[in-house]
Amino acid sequence: MTIYDISRLSGVSVTTVSRVINGSEKVSEKTRKKVLKIIKESGYTPNAFARGLGLNTMRTIGILCVDPADTNSCINLTPAIGYLERELRRNNYDSILYCLEYNMQGKEDYLKMMLERRVDAIIIVGSFFIESNPKNNQCILDAAGSVPVFLINGNLEGENIYCMLCDDFNSSYMATSELISTNVRDILFLYTTLSESEKRKMDGYIAAMKDHDLAVSQDYIRHCPQDVRESYRFFESLAEEGLKYDGIVTCEDTTAVSALKYALSKGIAIPEQLSVVGCGNTILSQYCYPELTTIDGNYESLCVSAVNMLVRHLEGTPAPSRAVISSRLIRRNTTKFYGME
């Protein structure tokens, strides 16, 4: 069933049928009714490929993200896929997923595949896609030569590249300040990947310590493994080492929850003896015990803004190339209240 069949069946030209399908004004009500009736009866749907060929778009967006099944990946970002899909669909775009393992193998190939697929734009989810070695970001700049590229919590300067940034610096700054305000002093900062995002968080921690006249010691800035078991051992080794701490600020909820598990198994009182702030406001932060005080990076807003910018850009409206979304502290039960001893 093609537009020609509909044309023949309803006794009008294909042009008119096309007009009806696309809701053009310039069709008499009578003709429109007639054509619509035939279309309905015959169950005809326009061929999307032919439309795509003519219009040179099928309204699809390529989403580059980490594999939601990869247990080593940062779980903060999985919901972003959902937010993006929802917002894009609201604007009549389809989302094609390109999932990468956490090692980022094949980033360049995937970008190429998107362009071959002729996506209208590319969204890259996560700061780890932006590497410190500029050479490894060249493929992104190249892709931006063909279609606009939108980065969710990624920072990269370039023509046709739009950055939606999470205020990572302030996240850790808030978390650290919160602990300090409840008289916690020996605060551990735990990172896992040292991605660009985590580097900014580290800076926030350092700034908060300094602003409160507390010494910043490299002993208190540590790498914690991602794996649950390994991170347990990490906390054991910290104890063996004799490091004293009464507060922890992490880059991910997973790390914070691991700390909680260790504390629980050792009978360390939370938050009285040890206060913990996570990051992500992930499902883990609600299901752990005690419930975790954490930073909500507001990924939903990040995604909504990204799609807004994308739509505006594709419609030809100029859009700002950069937006920073503020994060907020979610106070739960792993930190003391102000004034609590």
Q: For binding to a copy of itself (CB under 8 A), which residues are involved?
A: 45-50, 52-53, 56, 58, 60, 67-71, 75, 78-83, 85-86, 89, 94-99, 115-118, 228, 254, 257-258, 260-261, 264-265, 283-284, 286-289, 300
265 binds, among a copy of itself, DNA, none (CB under 5 to 8 A by kind): a copy of itself
Q: ∠ at Cα 145 (143, 151), nearest 5°?
A: 55
Task: Name the residue nearer to a copy of itself (CB basis): 181 or 301.
Answer: 301
User: Is 79 one of the binding residues for DNA (CB under 7 A)?
Assistant: no
**Side chain identity, residue 126:** G
Among candidate residues 70, 144, 149, 65, the one with its CA nearest the CA of residue 107: 65
Task: Name the residue nearer to a copy of itself (CB basis): 216 or 330.
Answer: 330
Choice from 37, 42, 53, 138 touching DNA (CB under 7 A) = 53
Task: Name the residue nearer to a copy of itself (CB basis): 92 or 133.
Answer: 92
User: Is 30 one of the binding residues for DNA (CB under 7 A)?
Assistant: yes
Q: What is the DSSP letter of 316?
A: T
Among candidate residues 325, 282, 322, the one with its CA nearest the CA of residue 301: 325
User: Is 42 one of the binding residues for DNA (CB under 7 A)?
Assistant: no
Q: How far is CA 78 from CA 83, 131, 147, 290, 317, in A?
A: 9, 20, 24, 24, 30
CA atoms 33, 34, 36, 40: torsion sign: positive
User: Is 38 one of the binding residues for DNA (CB under 7 A)?
Assistant: no
Distance CA 177, CA 48 (A): 55
Residues lying near DNA in the complex (CB under 7 A): 2-4, 11-16, 18-19, 21-22, 25-28, 30-31, 44, 46-47, 50-51, 53-56
